Chains A and B, each alone.
Chain A
Amino acid sequence: DVKVTQSSRYLVKRTGEKVFLECVQDMDHENMFWYRQDPGLGLRLIYFSYDVKMKEKGDIPEGYSVSREKKERFSLILESASTNQTSMYLCASSFEYTEAFFGQGTRLTVV
């Protein structure tokens, strides 16, 4: 079975902290994605990566950055966490033109 694993299920961070969310997949997928999910808004794409060291902005990249140094790992970085970044964060991976596999999600609370 494909596994997409996110490093934490729940995180509580303080305003201004630098926050790292890690995602690892074990199926050699080229594409990896970071989404945030908020009530009434659905999933929105923050960043995606289609290869090692390659990244592109999604629909809501402001306040975030990403890193993909190895094919299996895609990290989301909140440079200076703010309360409006409190959300559910979901990582996903896929091959070209195939179904996406999602991690279990990280519920981040910024206080």
Chain B
Amino acid sequence: KNEVEQSPQNLTAQEGEFITINCSYSVGISALHWLQQHPGGGIVSLFMLSSGKKKHGRLIATINIQEKHSSLHITASHPRDSAVYICAAAPNYGGATNKLIFGTGTLLAVQP
């Protein structure tokens, strides 16, 4: 069993829909990261959170430390949101080196 699991693996939505991507982890963490990867490869960090909720534009990330679960929400989805979304856990045994454990990603396609 992977230490970081995401669901769903693939998601197709219509433009304007509210989207949720889920991440569960089994290790103790110092932080949970959400990353975005567009076709072509480059990865961008969306959020790093250790408690509660963060919001940036139409993106919202939440985390429940007790349940070891995080969600990424996209409101009013748009075709430009189409990408792979990756959840990554920074385990609290990793120290300051910030080694991450990655989920396998969720491929999101938003259709116009």
A binds B: yes
Chain B 68-112 near chain A by CB (<8 Å), digits 1 or 0: 000000000000000000101010000011111011110000000
**Residue numbers in A under 8 Å from B45 (CB-CB):** 99-102
Q: Are B44 and A43 in contact (CB under 8 A)?
A: no
State which size class the interface on B falls in.
20 to 34
Are A96 and B86 closer than 8 Å at their CB atoms?
no
Q: A42-B104, A43-B86 are in contact. Are A48 and B40 (CB under 8 A)?
A: no
Interface residues of A in 5-60 (CB under 8 A from B): 9, 31, 33, 40-45, 48, 50, 56, 58
Chain B residues in 8 Å Cβ range of A81: none
Q: A96-B98, A97-B98 are in contact. Are A90 and B105 (CB under 8 A)?
A: no
In chain B, what residue has the closest Cβ to A33? B99
Partner of B96, one of A41, A88, A96: A96
- How many residues belonging to A are interface residues under a CB distance threshold of 8 Å? 29
- Interface on A for B, CB 8 Å cutoff? 9, 31, 33, 40-45, 48, 50, 56, 58, 88, 90, 92, 94-105, 107
Task: Using CB atoms and an 8 Å cutoff, list the residues of chain B in contact with chain A.
Answer: 30-31, 33, 35, 40-45, 48, 86, 88, 90, 96-100, 102-105
In the complex, given contacts A97-B90, A102-B43, what are 4 additional A-B residue pairs having Cβ atoms less than 8 angstroms apart?
A94-B98, A99-B45, A99-B48, A100-B100
